[in-house]
Amino acid sequence: MKISIITATYNRPSQLSAMARSARALAIALPSILNQIDNQFEWIIVNDGGDPETREISAQLQTS
C-alpha cells in the first residue's frame, strides 16, 4: 500500500521546515509504522507560487 501526504503551502517556509523535522522524528521514533507500510509513501508539496525560501526548502526536501 502506498500512502500519499499532500501539503499545500504559500510563503510558509518555517512551517514547511517544521513539518519536515516532525516527519523525520516520526520516522526515527516509530519505525514499526514505517515497517507496516513498507516505506512506500510520497510527500507531495504544492507550492502556490511562494517566495524563494519556500521553493528552496521544497527543493532540499526533494533531494533528501
- Domain span at residue 27 reads 3-63
Per-residue pLDDT of the chain (64 residues; tens, 9 = 90+): 677 888 888 887 888 788 777 777 666 655 555 566 555 777 788 888 778 888 888 888 776 5
pTM of the shown model: 0.54
* pLDDT for position 3: 76
* pLDDT for position 63: 64
- With beta carbons less than 8 A apart as the criterion, state whether 52 and 14 touch: no
* pLDDT for position 32: 59
Please state, in angstroms and rounded to a whole number, the distance separating the CA atoms of residues 21 and 28: 11
Please state, in angstroms and rounded to a whole number, the distance separating the CA atoms of residues 43 and 62: 9
Cα distances (angstroms) measured from residue 24 to each of 48, 49, 64 = 24, 26, 11
* pLDDT for position 36: 60
For the chain, what is the domain count? 1
